[in-house]
Amino acid sequence: MDIPPILERWRAFAGTAAGKRLLRVLRGVFLVAIIGVLIYQIWKIGWDRLLHALPSEPAFYVLLLAMYFLLPVTEAMIYGRIWSMPPWQCIAVMIRKRVLNMDVLGYSGEVYLFMWAKDRVQLARKAVMGVIKDNLITSSVSSLLSASLLIGGVLLSAPLALGEVVEIPGPLYVGLGVLVAVFIGVLVYRFRHEIFSLSRRTLAILTAAHVSRFLVGFVLQVASWWVVLPDVPFETWAILLVVFVVINRTPFVPSSDLVFVSAGASITPYLDAPVASVVGMLLVSSAVNRLLSLCFFVSSVWWERRHGMPPAPAPDAAMLADWSGKDETEEDSPGTDLS
């Protein structure tokens, strides 16, 4: 099938009155479908179970709200700086991006963000996609790095307790994993000019921002559990956090928090914690996240449609770095600088 002519015909049709009407209908169907998925997921959890498991500590809900906004706020600052937009103009779409990735399908949020940005950011579509791609790669690398630090720390502090829940890999598997990670790192470094669009300095800043986000998220997650059950040993929360991180770092897993609730119900009997209280707390966390997603998704769409979004000013000439074709021995790229 010849794809480019099809795309050209679609673009020509999208510019007609009928095409614009169809796009409006498709956008409406898409939004209704997302809202329907969120409502179904809340209903599936069960209102009776939710009301009986509600923690009474206000700090628990404050920490849940902080964790919910941690990713959208971080990415609003990142994309706002790169695209010369105030972060407050990006926060609504970053919330919707989070909802799509967390509650619908992994990486669907990046597709939605590109569709949103291509008509608002004064850059070529390739450059817009390059920024989204680079941020996704640095976020994924930071996720793996943060998860490795967490798992390594738990293995050093409580290897026997962790071994009761999951099978700890032997030295051979650990060595193979390290070799694979090093090999991937070498490949990324070797083809960095072809892979990345942003400057090395910007990529380093993005990596630091995402690693900090993950580490802060780990602290907030354990703190939210601890304020509800302060008598449970810290190593129990550390092990539960490892399971949470592993599930959330598995790609293309929809509703990963619901999967974590099921996993928590399975492993809590092996830990020094009350099963009913832990499962109820995890269930409430999942339901609260669904409610927040539903409320913020609907309100962000309403707010953006009511107030509109002015186009972003054109970024400076040095905002994006095209590394393609540059000599690999070049000292640095004069690209985007977030400092």
The DSSP line for 204-248 is: HHHHHHHHHHHHHHHHHHHHHHHHH-TTS-HHHHHHHHHHHHHHH
The pTM of this model reads 0.73
The per-residue pLDDT for 314 is 57
For every one of its 339 residues, what pLDDT tens digit does the chain have, with 9 covering 90 and above? Answer: 444 566 567 667 666 777 767 766 776 676 666 566 656 655 665 666 666 667 888 999 999 999 999 999 999 999 998 888 888 888 999 999 998 888 777 788 898 899 888 878 877 888 888 899 999 999 988 888 888 888 777 777 655 455 555 554 545 545 555 566 666 666 666 666 667 788 888 888 999 999 999 999 999 999 999 998 888 888 888 888 888 888 887 766 666 777 777 777 777 777 777 777 787 788 888 888 888 888 888 888 888 777 666 665 655 455 555 443 343 334 444 444 554
The C-alpha atoms of residue 82 and residue 257 are separated, in whole angstroms, by 31
The per-residue pLDDT for 158 is 58
